[in-house]
Structure 1
């Protein structure tokens, strides 16, 4: 087991993707601090991990504050004797288009995803640095943070910010031997259950059958378990040379997302004043796309029409 003797915290790990990450870390030998806002769900997650032969404890609290971040680190140290790995997965959704999104909708998502990642990473890194531990930071991003998505101003901002923080942390943590990476999962969740496009994939998973190859290969869309292997790998000693990266995982596909780079340059003597731009914007016909563009479903994977 590649993580034998290691201790991990996984925020938002009572169910879904977070639970899959916690279970895989435990399967690879790590003791795990499970975190959720629901005590029953957190307890069930701990029970599932221990029943499978792993070690786990729970901290029931919403991430975001420094106090909760400290509570999580203390739980790892007091219960298992240390901390080596932090996976920041906790999140909430408050999807609304811009004019319908309230201040509370925006602040709630930013507080859990972005501030929660910041406070937990700051606390974990302080422990790593003070104790000379070559720790692992794995922050969970989203395709929405990379490309945008209708109705997700708050979520897109948070997930894009997480990747930007990871790139910064990779620089700041390098001397301490700590790595920081972002994982961009593409997997079946409670949210994708409500999207007709993914109906056949979700139905297959519910039956315990492999998802159709179109989803797993063409879309790189799969189960939570398809992402957890990457999380465990990035937490291991074998990944010591990987830092500052955004890596996508889903179905049968692994992706390395590029850092933002200028893709076109244009020069104009004296600079690009208003008149020069009016005379000819140099990037017309070369503008970048926004949002995800999904290919058309094959006929056999089209959802059944809803009876009226």
Structure 2
């Protein structure tokens, strides 16, 4: 895997915030969906963003895709400050470079069009092929190649979405994203509505495409098993903020934040010799929902007043956790860290 230490990150998010107004146009009620997140994704890296529903995962993806306007913060795409250079709306080049795969394969394809329409339209709009002499033949070849990439026969180009299975529709959605040669794919729970028997095939497809074409991916999911299987790195999100990050295998084997441990405790595991202690789950839930109940805080510095910064934990320099229990002594050298690609951690005072 190429890391940001050797190349400019494909995506570099800093302090991104999003607040929604609720209750009508005259309402002053606000809901914070993102609380100032930082994230780097390296070229060719697959980052899984995990957390429960409502934690802000999809909002982050929609902000990066420019389907939502962030309330604050910046993000750079391949070194370009998108919020500064494309303030009002994204350019067609950005739309081409950053593609999104949605959760619902049944709703993301218009039922009145054949499959060929979903591939031909982006190829034409972004000028990939289809113009000039021989354009029609080139277009047909391009559509057939895209279908081959996602493991579908070219004959399916003549079918309508209702004639395809859920897995086949999601493969068409992936082919549509690939049509414009993206450098970053935002996959918003792309397997959650598929039968369990076909999920592994879609995950293998996405992994192979990223490896073969060097595409980066932000994979959004609440399924820890698929995150472990697909991703290079996992970032855990809770209440609009990142709380833990690390190598996928290491993080799930040695979770440090109470919220991460609570998520893992809810996953059925036939290899677990004894059921997860319900008292332990109750304690973790109290620590997450009421930080003052955390027994790792102190009277002078309870968890809800501890500076919310990341610290390295365990034996891996890539494993970061945002939790006061891991804070160094007050007189120790500064170790606050930004959440970035594994080999590009920044020290702070």
TM over 0.5: no
Which one has the bigger strand percentage?
Answer: 2
Which one has the bigger helix percentage?
Answer: 1
TM-score by length of 1: 0.28
TM-score by length of 2: 0.25
